[in-house]
């Protein structure tokens, strides 16, 4: 097995900003699905959050191969694209994670769009391939 690519400091600096990413998953029929979402990292892993019952949760369980694209809003040529593999889908820490994401993206202490009975899922993605442009500043 190949060693996963490492996120550069410049890639991490983009991920740590409140920039909306796009997550590509594959459904049971092999069709791609693209979802804009909030993105985070823990070390070299990309971390996203979703809710049980959503299409992306089904897709991630059925096929762990994903791609994520993050584009700087100030410079559309500053891009980080990650191809990776889902290594964990868990409810553990998922509520705290979505609240942290709400602080990052909305400046709110808790996620305001939670639905009654909603079960949050924290998804960990190991980068297999990272392409950053420009290569010295992404």
CATH classification at residue 101: 2.30.110.10
Q: What pTM did the predictor assign?
A: 0.91
Q: Is 41 domain-assigned?
A: yes
Mean pLDDT of 123-133: 91
Length, in residues, of the chain: 138
Confidence tier at 10 by pLDDT (50, 70, 90)? confident
Q: Is 1 domain-assigned?
A: no
Q: Is 138 domain-assigned?
A: no
Q: pLDDT tens digits, residue range 64-106?
A: 999 999 999 999 989 999 999 999 999 999 999 999 999 999 9
Q: Is 22 domain-assigned?
A: yes
Domain range for 88? 9-133
Q: Is 122 domain-assigned?
A: yes
What total number of domains does the chain contain?
Answer: 1
Calpha distance 6→46 (Å, rounded): 11
Of 38, 125, 137, 18, nearest to 80 by C-alpha is 137
Calpha distance 126→41 (Å, rounded): 10
């Amino acid at each position: 097995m190949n060693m996963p690519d490492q996120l550069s400091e410049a890639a991490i600096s983009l991920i740590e900003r409140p920039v909306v990413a796009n997550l590509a998953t594959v459904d049971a029929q092999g069709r791609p699905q693209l979802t804009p979402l909030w993105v985070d990292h823990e070390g070299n892993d990309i971390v996203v959050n979703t809710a049980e019952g959503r299409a992306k949760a089904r897709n991630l369980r059925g096929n762990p191969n994903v791609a994520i694209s993050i584009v700087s809003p100030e410079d559309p040529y500053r891009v980080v694209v990650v191809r990776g593999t889902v290594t964990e889908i868990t409810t553990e820490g998922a509520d705290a994670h979505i609240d942290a994401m709400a602080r990052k993206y909305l400046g709110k202490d808790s996620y305001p769009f939670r639905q009654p009975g909603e079960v949050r899922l924290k998804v960990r993605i190991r980068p297999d391939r990272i392409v950053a442009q420009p290569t010295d500043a992404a």
